[in-house]
Structure 1
Amino acid sequence: MKAPSIIAVAGVSGFLATVLAASGSHSFNLTGAEAGFFQQANEFHFYHTFALVATAVLAKWGKERTATTAALMFIAGILCFSGSLYIRAIMGPGSLGSFHWVTPVGGMLLMVGWLAMAIGSTRNT
């Protein structure tokens, strides 16, 4: 992925994270565990939106392959990890049904994104 494409995705992700944060605070009326799930989803969503911006920097440094790998892992991780927690928070326990495995897979994808950045940024390409 080229840096401008990654920045565009990061912009949309940041916008969605902001909209969801506002909705979580003012519209969804979440309490207890659901509020905690939502907050964790939103924090990770924001953190990894900033990580996407960092991958754009890598792409500009000529590490486009590394940036692409990391960016795709971050995008998939945000969708799986944060997305599943948002659903769980809003729709309640059991709402993921047989897809309860999506949350830990999303977390692993986020970890792989960080490792891709760390390892790929030190390699000469």
Structure 2
Amino acid sequence: MNNSLYEIRWEPAVATLIMKLSGFWNDAVYTDFSYELTRVTEGIPGRYSVLLDIGGSLVQSAETIAGHEQLLAKHRANVERMAIIGSGAITRMQAKRATNVVETCFFPNEADARSWIKESREGA
């Protein structure tokens, strides 16, 4: 699913959920994102990794970050690990807070993030 502020897609060959977030979110955007994420993930069998690109994201409100925390907590049992791409100090801090329920690592680029996810799949 594509929206001007987010993209969600499933890559079954690598058992990875890809999400790209950008801009500043209001309640309507978060509600749409939550609905789409639930719709996409409800058909995914078993556990999966998440590649989250926050490179285009702005600092979010406390309410939006709290919503992300709650949403991830709902999916915790299915998420093996989360690779996050992004360099902004505050957006990284917010992402770390929101993802504290799963193994998370930050990367400067997509290639490194995908490599880390691949290593985890091969080691399983």
- For the aligned pair, the TM-score class normalised by the smaller chain equals under 0.3
What TM-score do the two structures reach when normalised by structure 1?
0.28
Q: Report which of the two has the higher share of strand.
A: 2
What TM-score do the two structures reach when normalised by structure 2?
0.28
Please tell me whether Structure 1 or Structure 2 has the larger radius of gyration of its CA atoms: 1
Q: Report which of the two has the higher share of helix.
A: 1
